[in-house]
Structure 1
Amino acid sequence: MKKINLKIIVVGFLFLINYELQAQTDNTTDASNEYCIPALKGIPIGKGVSFEYQTMPNISIETHDKTGLFGDSKNTIKNNSHIEAKLKIPIINKPYLNILGGLKYTFEEYHFKNLSENSNPFYRSLEDKALKSIGANVTIIKPTKSKKFWILRASTDFNGDYSSHASGNLTDYLKFSIAPALGWKVNDNFSYALGLSYNYRFGNPLILPIIAINKNFNKKWGIEALLPLFIKSRYIHNKSLNWLNKIEIDGASYKLNNLKPELTQYSNIHLHRSAIQFSSRIEKKLVGWLWAASEIGFQKNLTYNVTNSNRSKKDIIFENTLKSGLLFNVSLFISPRK
């Protein structure tokens, strides 16, 4: 059923683009020969290359054993760290078509306090193990000779603690997301779009209706939102300093392979996590196109389940509750301003 839904999204999106192109060809009364420019006035383009490090210290975790084999347990994650590197490459940059490709690598580690041989096998399996995500993505933007534009974003990632000798089917680690939308450029300071999104932000793969909004209130203040996934305010102090505040749903699903012997009886263990983050970020230009950023925030856990399936609510082994905690992020990135 999931594959059918994805095919419907993709085929429907391509059909609508073809319909719009045909309509433009047939419409000889349109006096405009210029294509819509989706970007708003004064908004810098995205990051070409970025490197980020994020840490969350001292997170209390309570684990409820749903199998009755291991018992409930508590511990403290003394540090949860993330490293992320991204690369974006323009493939086609024409007035009538923009295609942008990207590569991503993330590396996540957990370190617990006071682990022993009798500690929960999930804690011991996760300790000092790298949860990795390697992926590629593409963004296709098709402006029209009106105020409308089409946009399609798709990505595929391999998520898990895999290694060169990992067992199991490679597709167990594969996670796919896609988001087609139709947008309207109302003027140089306001645009919006309507579409669908298939993603893992809530830990589970879900198809959600989305509303995108991008609005400049004046030369300094603006807002950007992709509801219900995130909403962000921006303050552009000058060409060298930005202040961003964001509320975002963050989540992922990892296939776990390198497990302690007590868990090897399960053949398809996944860790599903989702949380809501509140953060404030300062971006400062260092020199040329090189920028640095510092971010502080607060994260509230929504889901953190270990299951014997690729669903966060099916065949639960451990149901975890994580206390809310602070997050700290520093990053370097290259961003052409024009």
Structure 2
Amino acid sequence: MKLLSPKLLLLPMLCWVQQAAAQQTTEALSDVQKIEYASPGVRGMGKPRGIVVEYERLPQFDIDSKSDDPEIGNGSARVRRHNKFSVRALAPIMNKPQTKLILGIDHSFEEFNFENVTPATYSLYNSLEDKNLKSVGLQLAFLHSPNEVNFYLVRAKAELNGDYTRDNINISDYLKTTIDVAYGWKRSPDFAWGIGFQLGYTFGRQRVYPGILYNRTFNDKWGVESIFPANARLRLNVSEKTLLYTGYRIEGASYNLLASNPPLSKFNDIELRRTDFKGLVRLEQEIYDFLWFAVEGGFRQYYRHRVFDDVGSRDYIIKNDLAGAGYIGVEIFAVPPRRFTEGRKNK
């Protein structure tokens, strides 16, 4: 089953822009004075990513479901496997000294596999078994720096989230939109901070969530990267080619589902919303110049996992209790070649 998204208080937009700005400093000459425009990136952050391929897996854990609807009833099962796979790409379509426009596309899916289902005909588990919950997204991010101190970010994203197939897809039935806005201050090459908000699905239902950006490098080895309260990471620069992180991340998503198994099939559409918390350790390692590898592991605790009787509804029909479990994820990602970034710095 897919865990996205989605969609962490400014995380999708800010993480890429922070890295890009830190590694691609743009210079302009005004008379004899050199101006370095402000950005959210700080010294020591990782390189900007162009293409990312990611796989994540959770081992077995228990799930218990409760419903006040007597037709639906209660159920329990063992989640034998929970997989997630995603591919995303980001590229600047405008890259001027003061202004950057970044286009992104992504595709991901996740699935549940159950065993020891009780009762054996429980509708929710049968509806999710081996069914890909998909997300296809298109985003546009805008970064502008009017001077050496201030910057602001705006990102808009549209996604199709749900259990659709090529035969039954209707865009209006699965469309989810997210908007991120942030304004910040670059106090030094090692310190940037900002405030903002997201209209998104981090805690399931679409609403406005605040965020505080805080990026700081303390010395050649240690730094902090955070968008509180969505995520925070302590960074250790082992070398130019090796980065270590530890911290946490909040993830949330919303999926529109067409349940074909009774009694859930009596509803026109249902919506699955979830929020979970990850404590993590992460290693990023250069393989060869533009190609990097990452491995991440930790503990995932579900905070909220519910099924609603209609898209956007406030009335949930099933409350799921999912046990915490360890997880492991691997990534391969491409970054700008070293000769390109070094060439830009020398211009």
TM band (smaller chain): 0.7 to 0.9
Question: Please, what TM-score do these two structures have when normalized by structure 2?
Answer: 0.84
Contact 2:42 2:191 in 1 (8 A): yes
Q: 2:139 is matched with which residue: 137, 140, 143?
A: 137
- Contact map agreement 2:110 2:134 (CA 8 A) in 1: yes
Q: Does 1:177 align with 2:175?
A: no
What secondary structure does 2:59 align onto? strand
Q: CA-to-partner distance for each residue in 1:229-269, whole Å, 9 max, x for gaps?
A: 11111111111111111311101000112521432210120
Q: Which residue of 1 aligns with 2:99?
A: 97
Correspondence 1:304 to 2:344: no
Q: How does 1:190-205 map to 2 (within 5 A)?
A: 190-205=191-206
Return closer, same or farther for 1:37/1:146 CA change in 2, 3 Å cut-off: closer
Superposed counterparts of 1:200-279, under 5 Å = 200-279=201-280
Task: Using the aligned pairs only, state the percent identity.
Answer: 29
**Secondary structure, counterpart of 1:181 in structure 2:** strand
SS at match of 1:267: coil
Q: Distance in 2 between matches of 1:309 and 1:80?
A: 25
Q: Are 1:164 and 2:198 an aligned pair?
A: no
Counterparts in 2 of 1:28-47, with a 5 A limit? 34-38=35-39, 39-47=41-49
How many aligned residue pairs are there?
307
Greater alpha carbon shift after TM alignment, 43-52 vs 245-254: 43-52
Is the Cα–Cα contact under 8 Å of residues 44 and 237 in structure 2 kept in the other structure? no
TM-score computed with the length of structure 1 as normaliser: 0.86
Q: Is the 8 A contact 2:76 2:118 kept in 1?
A: no
Equivalent residue letter for 1:92: M
Distance in 1 between the 2:301 and 2:118 partners?
A: 28
Report what 1:186 is aligned to.
187
Which residue number in structure 2 is paired with residue 147 of structure 1?
149
Pairing 1:318–2:312 present: no
Residues 252-303 of structure 1, C-alpha deviations (whole Å, 9 max, x = no match): 0001125214322101201101101111111111112111111111011111
1:287 is matched with 288
* Letter aligned with residue 189 of structure 2: D
For 2:46 and 2:278, the matched residues in 1 are separated by 24
Question: For 2:306 and 2:291, how far apart are their aligned partners in 1?
Answer: 39
State whether residues 215 and 224 of structure 1, in contact with CA within 8 Å, keep that contact through their aligned partners in structure 2.
Answer: yes
Mark the runs of 5 or more structure 2 residues left unpaired by the alignment. 1-31, 342-347
- DSSP-derived class of the 2:126 partner: helix
Rounded to whole Å, the distance in 1 between the matches of 2:34 and 2:183 is 20
Match of 2:8 in 1: none
**Residue 201 and residue 32 in structure 1: after superposition, are their counterparts in 2 closer, same or farther (change >3 A)?**
farther
Amino acid in the other structure paired with 1:75: A
Deviates more, 1:226-235 or 1:121-130: 226-235
For the Cα contact (< 8 Å) 2:72–2:264, is it kept in 1?
no
Which sections of structure 1, spanning at least 5 residues, go unmatched?
Answer: 1-30
Partners of 1:113 and 1:32 in 2: CA distance: 68
